[in-house]
Amino acid sequence: MRLQSFFLTVLISGAFVAAGCAEKADPKKPVQQIKKEVERMSVEELQSAAEAYAQKLRSQHAEVAKITERMKTISVEEIFSKKTKPIKDRFLSIQVESSALFQRYQIYINKLQEKGVDTSQIRID
């Protein structure tokens, strides 16, 4: 019982942490708004925002890898069927969202570099 409570607490905590990062890394936040905001942000705030975007991009990369592995197990006929439409739709939505996230991430990275900050620790890899 105690072990279950521990795991439930860890799971819920992880969900809150992930939700916090997801809110910070908003692919729909207007680029012009971000460009204005970075002018007033401290180095710590810029680093935190850049890391949130990098973390979201890393998680999407991992999801794309899982989808790719799953697609490898599907026959060519099935790939072009309606059966795989949800998988293909998710893959495309991740691509679109990743592009938006990367564009916003780059704004924070550029501002940090402009301030002379080493951004090698906030890389997406």
Q: Report d(CA 56, CA 94) in Å as an integer.
A: 11
Residue 80 has a pLDDT of 86
| Residue boundaries of the structural domains of the chain | 2-122
- The pLDDT mean for the chain works out to 84
- C-alpha neighbours within 13 Å on the C-beta side of residue 45: 7
Closest CA relative to residue 55, chosen from 82, 18, 97: 18
Q: Are 49 and 107 in contact (CB under 8 A)?
A: no
Residue 41 has a pLDDT of 97
What is the per-residue pLDDT across 33-48, written as a single tens digit (0 to 9) for each? Answer: 999 999 999 999 999 9
Q: Which residues contact 44 (CB under 8 A, 6 or more apart)?
A: none
Q: How confident is residue 125, by pLDDT bands cut at 50, 70 and 90?
A: confident
- Give me the percent of the chain exceeding a pLDDT of 70: 82
Residue 22 has a pLDDT of 41
User: What is the pTM for the complete model shown?
Assistant: 0.76
Average pLDDT of the segment spanning 60-81:
90
What is the per-residue pLDDT across 1-27, written as a single tens digit (0 to 9) for each? Answer: 443 433 333 333 343 344 444 458 999
